[in-house]
Amino acid sequence: MRRREYIAGAGLVGIGSLAGCVDFLLGDEPAEFSAEPARVREDALTETGYQFDDRTTFEIEREFEVAGESRTVIVTNSRANYDKSISAGPLEDVRGALFTVLTTRQASVLDQEFNPVAALSSRRLLELVQSSQSGFDGLEYQEEGTATVYGTDTTQNIFIGTVTFGEQSVDVRIHITDAVEMDDDLAVTVGVYPELVPAEEENIYRLMGAIMPGE
């Protein structure tokens, strides 16, 4: 599954060097970058009870202004989704807990850094991971905290909201981390679980700390 996001870019001053960029500079072809996939280690999946759901890619396209002319950069990002069956309250054996790891290439275009996923707001990131649910309603920011992702301490933003599973609406807690470096890419994680099962918070932290490059 692939889809393209369009983000308007601000004007850039000056033209740097970019290997093989003649067609890009002439406007004949876009500059394209692709992120490597990331995954969660098997030992962490076994400990937490999560399982692999699917892996998808999506494109983010940005327009740059170069010497008064519009130029295009396209970054293909990778998204790996994991979930877990939950039985609590009105939920009975529902894939109600979700963990997603997104990777985007650390691209440099004309001496300017272009990190599309890292630049997205927490709310926009949620839109990229809600494909397995009907959507998040009543989203409210709760607090900021710290989490360890790929061996790096980073900021996380925590929200609460409501998700509908079938005909049942359930309050959920959502953890979204800031991007961390993973080799040549940046990685962002998102964890979602029903408030009925607060113990899932520790599992989400375990998964955050267990991401690694690879499929």
The DSSP H or E segment spanning 203 is: helix 200-208
Least confident of 37-41, 50-54, 96-100, 112-116: 112-116
| Banded model confidence at residue 83, pLDDT cuts 50, 70, 90 | very high
CB 112 within 8 Å of CB 12 = yes
Q: Does 187 score more than 90 pLDDT?
A: yes
Q: Percent of the chain scored above 70 by pLDDT?
A: 76
Mean pLDDT of 80-91: 90
pLDDT tens digits, 112-157: 676 766 667 777 777 766 554 456 777 888 999 999 999 999 999 9
* DSSP β-bridge partners for residue 211: 40
**Which residues, 6+ apart, have CB-to-CB distance to 60 below 8 Å?**
4, 5, 7, 74, 75, 77, 104, 116, 117
CB 104 within 8 Å of CB 117 = yes
Mean pLDDT of 200-207: 98
Least confident of 76-85, 127-136, 155-164: 127-136
pTM above threshold 0.75 = yes
pLDDT tens digits, 17-43: 344 454 554 555 777 889 999 999 999
Q: Does 64 score more than 50 pLDDT?
A: yes
CATH code matching the domain that covers 34-56+77-213, chosen among 3.40.50, 3.40.1340, 3.40.1000, 3.30.1890: 3.40.1000
